[in-house]
Structure 1
Amino acid sequence: MFFELTYQVRVTDMIEGHKWYQTFLKKAPDFIPHDGFAEWEVVPGCWLQVAEGTPSSGSGPLRLAVKDLEAEKLWLVRELQVEDFEVFSREEVPVKWCTFSDPWGNRIGLFEYIDKKEESKRIDTILGKVEI
């Protein structure tokens, strides 16, 4: 049985990578065990590691849920100078989503539940308010 998740991206400049991801995640890292490495707990039990090194070509995207995809898109373009990107949706898919890249080419995606009742149920489950 799995109970936690860790996803790692690599950046060629750790100082800039640390700053970019701290701004993107809107908080300081939760764990910095040594130079060239920082880790954020994005949601309980789900960690994003940023390590100094060569980014992996074609990997990802790491996809994160948000409550307001359009607002996040505007913030990313304005605050982090992310190149403008398209938001997608399909009638048979319960979310709308997008994909963009960090300055090192790591692909990141966001998604938003269209059904806000489903979104609330997912949040309650993640926070342990509802048994799985």
Structure 2
Amino acid sequence: MIFEMTYQVRVSDFDEGLKWYKSLLKKEPDFTPHDGFAEWELIPGCWLQVAEGTPAVGSGPLRLGIKSIEDERSRLINELNIESFEIFSREEVPVKWATFSDPWGNSIGFFEYIEEKEMNERKNVILGKNG
């Protein structure tokens, strides 16, 4: 039985990577056990690790569920100086999604539920809330 997960990205410049991911996630790391390594618990039991090292080519994307792709895209362009990215959707898919890269080439993405009701239902299931 799987009860927890981690996803690791590597950055060649840890200090810059730490700064970049703190801005992306809008929070300090939850766990920094040693130099060159930081970890954030994104939702209960779901961790993102940033480690100093050579980025893995062709991995990802790590996609994060958010409330508004458009708002986050604007924020990242302004705060992290990333290039604008396209937002995709398909009629049969209940989310919009987009993919971009961090400065080290790690593929990251966002997704947004089209229906707010569905987003709220998913959040309640994930966070263990009833109604």
- TM norm structure 1: 0.97
Q: How many angstroms does 1:44 deviate by?
A: 1.0
Q: How many angstroms does 1:3 deviate by?
A: 1.0
Q: Does 1:102 align with 2:90?
A: no
SS in 2 for 1:83: coil
Structure 1 equivalent of residue 59 of structure 2: 59
- 1:1-132 correspondence to structure 2 within 5 Å: 1-130=1-130
CA distance in 1, matches of 2:3, 2:67: 24
SS in 2 for 1:123: helix
Moved over 4 A (4+): none
SS in 1 for 2:84: coil
Q: Deviation digits for residues 76-131 of structure 1, max 9, x if unmatched? A: 11100111100000001100000000000000000000011110000111111149
SS in 2 for 1:17: helix
Unaligned runs of 5+ in 1: none
Cα RMSD between the aligned structures? 1.0
* Residue correspondences, number: 131
CA distance in 2, matches of 1:113, 1:31: 29
Unaligned runs of 5+ in 2: none
CA distance in 2, matches of 1:68, 1:83: 18
- TM norm structure 2: 0.98
